[in-house]
Amino acid sequence: MGDLRIVFLGTGGGRFATITQKRRTAGVRFLKDELNLHLDPGPGALVYSWMLGLDPRKINGIIVSHAHPDHYNDAEVLIEAMARGALKRQGILAAARSVLKGGETAEVAISKYHQSLPKQVVETVAGTEFEIKDVKIKGFEARHSDVDAVGFRFETEVGAIGYTSDTEFFEEIEGFYRGVRMLILCVLRPSGEPWQGHMTTDDAIEIVKATEPEFVVLTHFGMKMIFRGPTREARMMERETGAKVVPATDGMELWIGEEIAVGKAIDKKGKKIKLNKFLKT
């Protein structure tokens, strides 16, 4: 059984972090055995894939949680890469209804042509279940300004992983992600700075207390969160919840097997580096 590698190609979110690229907005890659899955390919997904040595032509699954550009922007070009320049219908695209068909506040985010390139397209609403390689995935409700937004729960060989996408806190969310080994939270705002449709550190604390994951990763930081300091907010969450909380950084890589290792995928000179810090589990 190989480790699951999770690479954070980007950790920024929201309009201003995206426009300024204070943090990259390239999404997250899951790699294990045959699995090569890109989650929420925002602006930069293509470029940072190459910069981190992750050939986008090897992708076999693309997931888009909703129709905002920090989540879908590079989806079409990654689909072209996945389909070998449109020469071969292959791979799976799973995306929220608004992304595929347009919604109340959004136009179609992936063209009909690009939707014809993958071997399978899954329209994901709350409750939709599908598989990419050996990973079972289920969509869950998210409450966001794109009403079709969905979060995901991934059942992998090394445990369950939750990804909330952009959402505000609501009670049922606890049931969706209870018992996951790793919970990835899109914490756009710091403590005390609520904004409708998004999560603050205060909301994240409630979710972690209710779901009790083995460890938590914070990502998708907006400007206010970046200026406050995700590390500081993560430490505060650890004090409040007793959980291990990792603030993601651009290029951060997690290796999940029996143990969990965290490190940078690549150093400043562009060289692959070894992971050296182990989380106690």
**Which residue ranges make up the site for Zn ion (CB under 5 A)?**
13, 68, 70, 166
Cα gap 245→27, rounded to integer Å: 19
Between 27 and 91, CB nearer to Zn ion: 27
Phi, psi at residue 131, to the nearest 5°?
-130, 140
Between 67 and 83, CB nearer to Zn ion: 67
Cα gap 138→65, rounded to integer Å: 12
Between 48 and 255, CB nearer to Zn ion: 48
The dihedral built from the CA positions of residue 194, 196, 200 and 205, taken in this order, carries a sign that is: positive
Residue nearest to Zn ion (CB): 68
Between 30 and 221, CB nearer to Zn ion: 221
Between 188 and 260, CB nearer to Zn ion: 188
CB of 132 to Zn ion, least distance (A): 22
CB of 178 to Zn ion, least distance (A): 24
Strands (E) located in the chain? 4-8, 28-32, 35-39, 61-64, 92-96, 120-124, 129-132, 135-141, 150-156, 159-163, 182-186, 215-219, 244-247, 252-256, 260-264, 277-279
In degrees to the nearest 10, what's the CA dihedral of 62, 65, 67, 68? -100
CB of 171 to Zn ion, least distance (A): 21
Closest CA to 263 of 279, 246, 275, 280: 275
- The length of the chain is 281
| Residue 156 contacts residue 178 (beta carbons within 8 Å) | no
Between 3 and 166, CB nearer to Zn ion: 166
Between 13 and 247, CB nearer to Zn ion: 13
Please identify which residue in the block is written with the tokens 């329209």.
Answer: 123
CB of 253 to Zn ion, least distance (A): 22
